[in-house]
Structure 1
Amino acid sequence: MVNGTIKGWGALVVLVPILTATAAQAANPLHWVRLLETRRCERCNLAEADLRQAFLRQAHLSGANLRGADLNGADLQNAFLLGADLRGADLRNANLDGANLMGARLDNARLHAAVMGDRTLIAPRWRLVRDLVTDGVGDRDLRQADLQGANLDGVDLRGVDLTEANLAGATLEAALLSDSTLAQANLAEASLFLSDLRRAQVSQANLSQASLRAADGRRSDFSDTDLSQADLALAYLDQASLNHSDLSRANLSRAELTGADLRQSNLTDANLFVANLHNAQLEGANLQGTRLEGAELSGANLSLADLQSSHLAGVRLQDADLSGVNLRRRDLHGADLSGTNLSQSDLSGANLAGANLAGANLEGTNLSRANLQGANLEGASLQGADLQGANLQQTNLLGANLAMTQLQRANFTRANLYGTNLQRITVLNTNFCEAIMPDGRIHACP
């Protein structure tokens, strides 16, 4: 028996130096010795071990920790791997004919070209994964398929119907999923890094805590989808539909969302740092606590959106629609709001010092106690706005429309009001000291 064992395990003897050099920190060397001498290593710690091309026929490895082990091309015929931990293991080209893997954990294991005969005892899920990564989808019906924890990296799933499939924790990195259907699928904690999801139907799916970093989801349908805490940094989501989706605490930093539909979406505490939301639809979206520093929102529609406690430093809002938005006491100093629609919005107490509001629509807007010192309001329409107690020192209001505005206690010191419409304004203790009036004269100081 000893001679036969040594001969049968000759390939492993060569691997011992490799263990010492690369895997000793994870695998237990004493367990290696036991494996070599007895062919039995139940519950052994062989994590991350290098077992490429190893002869492991009829080995007893039930309950063993083989997490992350390299078993590429290994001979595991008739081996006992009941309840073994093979998560993240490389089993490509391994011979598993007649092996018993019942209860084994194979999450994220690589199974391409692994040999699984009729005598191989393994959960149907893992046999399906092996078939998909080796032979492709073919005529298989993957609706409601159980692919939880499957490693499907790079698999071609274009146009495939995966409705209600369970892909929780699955790895689909660089997978081809364009034109596929993932409606109501469970993709919680799945990894779709660099995946191609163009024009995919992903409505009502669960993608909570999933990674879609740098994924291509252009023109895809993510409506009513759970993307809470998902990583969408650097993702391409131009023209994507994300309306009514839950993106709370999601990472969308530097994502491309040009023309995306985010109506009524929940973006509470989401990270949109330097994201491109040009012409995006955000009507009624919840943006409480959202990071929008440096974001591109020009031409975006944010009407009736909730921006309370959101971070807006350096945000670009040219020609955006912010009608009816609550921006009370928000810091928007230096912001570019030229051509923006802020009608009927609440900007009371807001800091707009040095902001560019040229050509903006501020009709009926509440600007009471707002700080507009040094702001540019040239050609802006403020008809019917409330400017009570506002600070407009040195503000440029050239050609602006202030008809029917409430200007009680407002400070226009040294402001430029040349050509401004001041018809039917309400003034009381209003300060026009040294201001350039509509007719060009300089107003005297008290």
Structure 2
Amino acid sequence: MADLFWDHFPLQSRYKSNCLRVGPPLRSIGEFYRTMARARSLLEGSDGGAMARLLLEEGKKNLRDAALAGQDLRLLKASFALLDAADLSSARLDDADLSEASARGCRMLKAQASGARLRGGDWQGSDFEGAQLQEADLSGCNFKDCNFTSAHIAGASLRSSKVDGSRFEEIDPRAQRCDLSFVCLSGLSLKGIDFSGSCMEGVDLSECLVEQCDLSRVKLVKANLRGCRFLDVKLTRANLSHARAAGSSFISCDLSHAELDDADLRYWRKRVSAQRATLVQVDACESILESCNLSESDMQGCTLDRAQMRRAKLNGTRMEKSSCIAADFDGSEGEGLRAMNSNFSSAHVTNCSWRSAKLMGCDFSHAHLYSSDFSHSDLQEALILQALWVYEQQEGEEGPSHGSARETPRPAELSGANLQGVDLRMTNLRGVSMHRARMAYANLEGARMEEADCSHADLTGACLTDLRGSNVKGAKLRGCFLSSTALQLGALEETHPDMSMVRMPNVSMSNKTFVSKTFDRADLNQVDFSLSSFLRCSFVRAKLGGAKLDNCVLEDCRLDGADMTDVSMDGATLSSCSLLDVSLDRARVRRSGLQLTSLTRAESKGAIWEDVELRECDLSCARLEGSKFARSRLEGVNMRESDMRGCQFDACDVSGASFARCDLRRSRWTSCKGSRAHLEFADMSQSWWEESDLSEAFLAGADLRESRLRAVKVERIVWQDGNVKCDLSRADLEGMEMEGANLAGVRLEETNLRAAVLRGALLVKSNLCDANLCAACLDQANLAGSDLTGARVSCVSLNDANIQGANLTRVVWKRKEEEEEVKGKELELNLSMADLTGAMLNHADLTRCNLKDAVLTNTQLFHSPRKQSDMKRARATGLEKRKT
């Protein structure tokens, strides 16, 4: 009987002797039971913990059903112990070693086991309610059907433990830094627990409900999250790499800075906050991520096919090489999104704000892009064929499938976008805003651009062929850059009237009709406008350098301040146009007509005007220096105060034209008609006039000094007006026919009037000092009061001339160098019948002078030799003949 007892309850020898001394030797079964009860009472007593410690440390591990509640078992070493159904409630097991123990059904209520090692034990069905398991090693244990209500597991390790059927619902919320790797928590409900910093690698949370928990910095690598519902969970900086989360839902969760590399997120659910998360190569097919926040996250290589991402926030997110086929991004925000080489085919990117996004090389074929803002986005080399930038209502469709059903979806916004080289053939861009977009070398062949805003866009080298007028009707091209662009003939005629600041140098725009177009400040250098018509168009301050305006028709147009340097206008017609301050330097205007056109302050240096007709045009204050006018008609043209230095007029008709106060220095006039021309106060010094007609012209105040006039008709010219006199000083008027000319008071000093015909001319008080009057005809001329001091009057004819009061001091009528010139002629001064009353002939050489019938009353002849002078019948009353 004793042997049976010790087999059931083996004790150490000293305890064995104590037990046998409780009474006489065991003689019956009753004594056996009484002895065993006495031994149990020793364990349950105040010294039961010490006894249990001795029993377990001596290798006697069987404490099944032992009552050790409240005992102090700290630092106990009892690996492989048998504690089935033992009562360890409130026991102190801090840092105890119970690894590999068998403790099924054990009671651990409020037990203190911080730092304890229970690794590999079998605790199935045990009750850990309120137990203190902080920093405990619970890895590899069997915790099936256990109760962990209010248990403290912060820092504990349950790695690879089995917790099927266990109760974790009311676990102590402070569960930080615990290790739940490879633990199966499938189907559990976890609410309000703080797992921050924990390790849950390979954990099974499938079909779990995780509500209001803190999983920040948790390692969920390769975790099974299928069907798990995360509600208002904080996953900041969590690592979900390679996690399997198909069908899971993250409602109102925060995944900021989380890592989800190569995770399976198919069938995700909405309202996820994953700001700055890492989701590289995740599979989120058919996920529902509505209103999720993925700002600044890394989603490179993700698969989001058919995902629902309405109102998602993708600001600054990286989605390079991602697949988003048929995904729904309606209402999403993607400012600064980087999705290069991603596939958005058939996706709904509507009502989105993807400003400044990097979308180079993306595939948007058949995608819905209307009502979205792609301003300043980079779509270079993107595939946009058959993409819907504008909502097109299908037949039988009641309204838009996305966005507001009440309002018609607006076109996409592409202001400042980069569309260089993009293929937009046959694309509907009606009403799309492409303000300042970069579309160089884009293919817009056959595109619909009605009412599109391309102002200030760059269309350099873009292909705009096969554009009908209806396709670009109302399109805004203000400030657009169309350099080297291939334009369909007549395509721009129906565009928006405002094409200000458009830039299209070297573009062919021939044979077009523009009505009420505005090209202000446009760059049209080298543009070919041949055979085009412009009605009420504006080119204010436009650049037309080198442009071809051959056979153009401009009616009621404004070109004020335009730069038309080197322009070609062969056969052009300008009517009622304004060219104020225009620059026509080196322009070539041939066979053109300008009527009622104003070129005030125009600059046309070195220009060529051939066979041009200018009727009632205004070129006042123009700068035409060095220009050439050939066979042109300038009738009635106003050129007042213009700078025409060095201009050349060949066979031109300037009748009635006004050159008043013009600068015509060094100008050359050949075979011109200038009757009734106004040249008042014009500076024509050093000019050349040959075989021209200036009859009835107005030259009052004109400056003709050092000018040369040959075979010029000057009948009835107005040389002076009141006190305003013409200046012909040092002019060359040799052989000029000026019969009856009114030159009273005109300055003619040093003027060459050799052989000039001045018969009956009025030269009263004229200044002829040092003038050359050799062989001139001054018959019946009125030289009263004129100053002929030093004049050369060889062979001059003064028959019946009035020289009353004239100053003939030092008059020279013969010079040695002139003897050859007048050889064969009689060298004499013909003053017959001349009225020399009061004339001063001091020092005059009157040798062989004819004074027949001359009136010499009060005439001064001081030092004047009169040998061989004919003074027959001369009236010399009061003649002073003093000789030295």
Shift of 1:432: 2.4
Are 2:75 and 2:95, in contact at CA under 8 Å, matched by a contact in 1?
no
Shift of 1:336: 1.2
Confirm whether residue 421 of structure 1 aligns to residue 383 of structure 2: no
* CA shift digits 1:393-438 (9 cap, x unpaired): 2321111112111122222223222211121122312232232223
* Structure-2 separation of matches of 1:100 and 1:225: 37
- One of 98, 101, 105 as aligned partner of 1:169: 105
Q: 1:352 to 1:266 in 2, by over 3 A?
A: closer
Match of 1:310 in 2: 248
* Structure-1 separation of matches of 2:88 and 2:288: 51
Confirm whether residue 290 of structure 1 aligns to residue 258 of structure 2: no
Are 2:70 and 2:92, in contact at CA under 8 Å, matched by a contact in 1?
no
* CA shift digits 1:325-368 (9 cap, x unpaired): 22223222x22122122221122222222222211212111122
Structure with bigger RCO (C-alpha 8 Å, 6+ apart): 1
AA aligned to 1:259 is G
Are 1:404 and 1:423, in contact at CA under 8 Å, matched by a contact in 2?
yes
Match of 2:380 in 1: none
Alignment of 1:17-96 (within 5 A): none
Match of 1:197 in 2: 133
Q: 1:391 to 1:287 in 2, by over 3 A?
A: closer
Are 2:73 and 2:91, in contact at CA under 8 Å, matched by a contact in 1?
no
AA aligned to 1:219 is G
Alignment of 1:44-443 (within 5 A): 98=34, 112-113=44-45, 129-130=66-67, 132-133=68-69, 136-137=72-73, 141-233=77-169, 234-235=171-172, 236-332=174-270, 334-439=271-376, 441=414
Are 1:164 and 1:184, in contact at CA under 8 Å, matched by a contact in 2?
yes
Match of 1:30 in 2: none
Shift of 1:370: 1.9
* Structure-1 separation of matches of 2:71 and 2:374: 80
* Structure-1 separation of matches of 2:47 and 2:302: 71
Q: 1:134 to 1:381 in 2, by over 3 A?
A: closer
Q: 1:229 to 1:312 in 2, by over 3 A?
A: farther
Shift of 1:256: 2.0
* Structure-2 separation of matches of 1:341 and 1:141: 45
What is the Cα-based RMSD across aligned positions, in Å?
3.2
Shift of 1:140: 6.6
Aligned-residue identity in percent:
19
Are 1:231 and 1:252, in contact at CA under 8 Å, matched by a contact in 2?
no
Are 1:279 and 1:298, in contact at CA under 8 Å, matched by a contact in 2?
yes
Shift of 1:190: 0.9
Shift of 1:379: 0.9
SS of the residue 1:312 aligns to: strand
AA aligned to 1:381 is R
* CA shift digits 1:353-389 (9 cap, x unpaired): 2222211212111122222222221111111111222
* Structure-2 separation of matches of 1:144 and 1:341: 45
AA aligned to 1:416 is S
SS of the residue 1:292 aligns to: strand
* Structure-1 separation of matches of 2:359 and 2:249: 34
AA aligned to 2:185 is L
* Structure-1 separation of matches of 2:258 and 2:140: 29
* CA shift digits 1:278-335 (9 cap, x unpaired): 1100000112233322222221111111112334323322221122222223222x22
Are 1:397 and 1:415, in contact at CA under 8 Å, matched by a contact in 2?
yes
From the two aligned structures, give the one with the greater strand fraction: 2
Shift of 1:192: 1.1
* CA shift digits 1:143-165 (9 cap, x unpaired): 22221112211011112111221
Are 2:328 and 2:349, in contact at CA under 8 Å, matched by a contact in 1?
yes
AA aligned to 1:347 is A
SS of the residue 1:252 aligns to: strand
* Structure-1 separation of matches of 2:47 and 2:95: 28
Are 1:377 and 1:398, in contact at CA under 8 Å, matched by a contact in 2?
yes
Q: 1:405 to 1:438 in 2, by over 3 A?
A: farther
AA aligned to 2:253 is V
Q: 1:251 to 1:170 in 2, by over 3 A?
A: farther
AA aligned to 1:302 is L
* Structure-1 separation of matches of 2:249 and 2:165: 18
Are 2:209 and 2:229, in contact at CA under 8 Å, matched by a contact in 1?
yes
AA aligned to 2:295 is A
Q: 1:406 to 1:127 in 2, by over 3 A?
A: closer
| Runs of 5+ consecutive residues of structure 2 not aligned to the other structure | 1-31, 49-60, 377-412, 416-428, 433-447, 449-884
AA aligned to 1:378 is N
AA aligned to 1:304 is H
AA aligned to 1:412 is V
* Structure-2 separation of matches of 1:362 and 1:140: 51
AA aligned to 1:286 is N
Are 2:197 and 2:216, in contact at CA under 8 Å, matched by a contact in 1?
yes
* CA shift digits 1:230-261 (9 cap, x unpaired): 22233332111221223233443322211111
AA aligned to 1:402 is A
AA aligned to 1:186 is D
Shift of 1:166: 1.6
* Structure-1 separation of matches of 2:300 and 2:238: 19
Shift of 1:182: 0.7
* Structure-2 separation of matches of 1:274 and 1:253: 6
Are 2:134 and 2:152, in contact at CA under 8 Å, matched by a contact in 1?
yes
AA aligned to 2:315 is E
Shift of 1:207: 1.0
Q: 1:98 to 1:283 in 2, by over 3 A?
A: same
* Structure-1 separation of matches of 2:74 and 2:362: 74
Match of 1:21 in 2: none
AA aligned to 2:127 is S
Are 1:113 and 1:134, in contact at CA under 8 Å, matched by a contact in 2?
no
AA aligned to 1:263 is E
| Runs of 5+ consecutive residues of structure 1 not aligned to the other structure | 1-95, 117-123
Are 1:97 and 1:115, in contact at CA under 8 Å, matched by a contact in 2?
no
Give the number of the structure whose alpha-carbon radius of gyration is greater. Answer: 2
Shift of 1:215: 1.6
Are 1:421 and 1:438, in contact at CA under 8 Å, matched by a contact in 2?
no
SS of the residue 2:34 aligns to: coil
Are 1:248 and 1:270, in contact at CA under 8 Å, matched by a contact in 2?
yes
TM-score, normalised to structure 1, is 0.68
